[in-house]
Amino acid sequence: MKLKMLFLMCSLSAAFLVSGKTFETDKFTTKNGGELVITFIKHGSLQLTFNGHHIQIDPVSEYADYNSFPKADIILITHEHGDHLDPKAISALEKTGTLLIANEAGSKILGKGTVMKNGDKLTPVDYMTIEAVPAYNTTPGREKYHPRHRDNGYILTLGGTRIYISGDTEDIPELADLKDIDIAFLPVNQPYTMTVQQAVHAAEMFSPKILYPYHYGDTKVEEIKEKLKNSNIDVRIREMQ
Residue-level pLDDT at 8: 47
pLDDT at 190: 81
pLDDT the model gives residue 15 = 67
Q: Find residue 42's DSSP bridge partners.
A: 45
Burial class (CB in 10 A: 0-12, 13-18, 19+), 85: buried
Does domain 2-235 fall under CATH 3.60.15.10? My reply is yes
- Which pLDDT value is given to residue 19? 61
Peptide bond into 173 cis (omega under 30): no
CA distances (Å), origin 199, targets 87, 91, 202: 30, 33, 5
Which regions in the chain score pLDDT beneath 70?
1-20
pLDDT score of 11: 59
What pLDDT score was predicted for residue 241? 78
Q: What is the pTM of this model?
A: 0.93
Q: What tens digit of pLDDT does each residue of 86-119 get?
A: 999 999 999 999 999 999 999 999 999 999 999 9
Phi, psi of 201 (to 5 degrees): -60, -45
* pLDDT value of position 13: 64
Domain range list for the chain: 2-235
pLDDT for residue 39:
97
